[in-house]
Each structure stands twice: as C-alpha cells, then as structure tokens.
Amino acid sequence: MAEFVSTERDGMVAVVTIDHPPVNALSGPLLEELEAELVELDADEGVRAIVLKGAGERAFVAGADISEFPSLREAAPQQNGGSARGIQKLGARMDAAHTPFVAAIHGFCLGGGLELAMCCDIRVCSDDAQLGQPEIKLGLIPGGGGTQRLPRLVGLGRALLLNLTGDFVDAATAYEWRLVEKVVPREELLDTALGIARTIAARSPVSVAVLRELARTTRDLPLEEGLRREADGFRRCLESEDGAEGVAAFLEKREPEFTGR
C-alpha cells in the first residue's frame, strides 16, 4: 500500500497527490513510490492527463529530504549522485511518458520540488507560491535537473541568479520569467489545473504524444532537422485512426471520439 502518494480519478484525468508532512520533502522511498505510480498511470489507456500536486497548506514540494543527506554522503561513491539521480531518473521517466503532466503548485516549490515541477509539461501556480533552488545555501548545487532544465525555461542569466543566490521568486516573477504558465488565486488552483488537464485529455492521445515527443527531442536541434521531424510527426498523426476520426468529425460537424490509436 502506498505511503506517500495517492491518486484520484476525474474522468480521464488522474490527480496524484504527494503527501509527506510537513512540506512533502522528496525522500528516496517517496521518489520510488511516485515513479512507480506515474509509470502505472502512463500505461493505463483510461488516463490521458495527470495532475501532480502536494498535500497540505504549506508546500507543493519544499525540496529533498535533507535528513537523508548524511547517509547519502557516506554512500555517495557507490550511488553516483544519491537522491539527485533519483529525481533525474523520475524526470527521464516523465519525459518518455505518453501522458502529459500538469503541476498544480502552491506554497513552497523549492529545490527538488521545483525540479519535479520542471519535469511537468505545464505549470500552474497559486499567487502565494514561492519558487527557488536554495541548494547553494547548503554548500551544494541542484542535482535533479536544476542546472539543466531551469536555463532552458528561463534563460542562462536568470537560472544562474536563482542557482547562485538561492533566493526565491514569487508567483508573479515566475510567470514573467516563463517558469510557470499560469498564476491563479489559491482557491482556484486545482480547478484551473484540472480544467487544463481535462481539455488535453479530450484531445487525441496520438497527437498529444507526438507533440510531447517533439517538444523534448527537437528543442536543441537545427531548425531544418526540427522541421523534418515535425513533418514526420504530422504524417504519423494523419495516418492514425485518431487522425482519420478527427478529420471525419470536422467534415461531419460533430465532436470527435478519439481512441488513442
């Protein structure tokens, strides 16, 4: 039975809650549990979008579980990065998934929590959120993607500002910097994230998967190669059953019924 992660269904949307009081810190067992849950949901054809959120009032996720660090230091030569590799491994699983992820961020979203949020496709945050990479204050650096994913979202200078100072940014700044896609009042956070997830879930799973693939595999490629892969993705969608259904539904002036094939 899961100890740190719970899932509820809202139609074709799965809402996954991280629950590790008081601030949902990412421990090794929690990361393993979360990875297993997300892999299982990604394999479920009845799930077409996943919302990721934190339990409680204080935080989405306020970082890694620092109480584990002394033992990780002892084992560091054998573990090659310890919990940092655990977050990276989870991020790689999310990158490779067919199912899109929407992060619903409230309160503190720090360190490993921000790295987890950056693994999601879309980030919605409440207006009281505080985001940052404070590892430098411990004499450490971000190890779960913060030196790599963050510059790709906000640019090198702003990423270095966060990573080198350890300072937090508020929700308005995070939106201005394109670290999050939407800011809403706290009471509207879950409904907004669910609304986005429901909209995506109603689209063709084939098209959604191809779009996610292109977003992750072409961003650092030359434009010509990116366009070639885009054309190939368009062809795959057009040749799919969903593509045929979408075109037929448009011509027949009805709503499409996508099956993911």
Please answer whether residues 179 and 123 qualify as being in contact, where contact means their C-beta atoms are separated by less than 8 angstroms: yes
Q: What are phi and psi of 219, to 5 degrees?
A: -65, -25
Contact assessment for residue 51 and residue 99, using Cβ atoms and an 8 Å cutoff: no
Q: How far apart are CA 49 and CA 12, in angstroms?
A: 7
Residue 228's CB is within 10 A of a number of other CB atoms, namely 13
Q: Active-site residue 245, yes or no?
A: no
**Is 3 an active-site residue?**
no
| Cα→Cα distances 127→52, 171, 235, 261, Å | 17, 5, 41, 39
Which of 219, 201, 243, 245 is closest to 95 using CA atoms? 219
- The bridge status of strand 122-126 relative to strand 182-184 is parallel
Separation between Cα atoms, residue 167 and residue 187, nearest integer Å: 26
Q: Mapping DSSP to helix (H, G, I), strand (E, B) and coil, where does residue 57 land?
A: coil
Number of H helices, E strands in the chain: 11, 10
Question: Of 35, 68, 115, 241, which residue is the catalytic one?
Answer: 115
Helix 69-79 vs helix 83-96: crossing angle, to nearest 10 = 70
- Helix, strand, coil distribution of the chain in percent, nearest 5: 50, 20, 30
Catalytic residue among 68, 74, 135, 252: 135
What distance in Å separates the CA atoms of residue 61 and residue 113, rounded to the nearest whole number?
4
Residues annotated as catalytic (active site), given as ranges: 115, 135
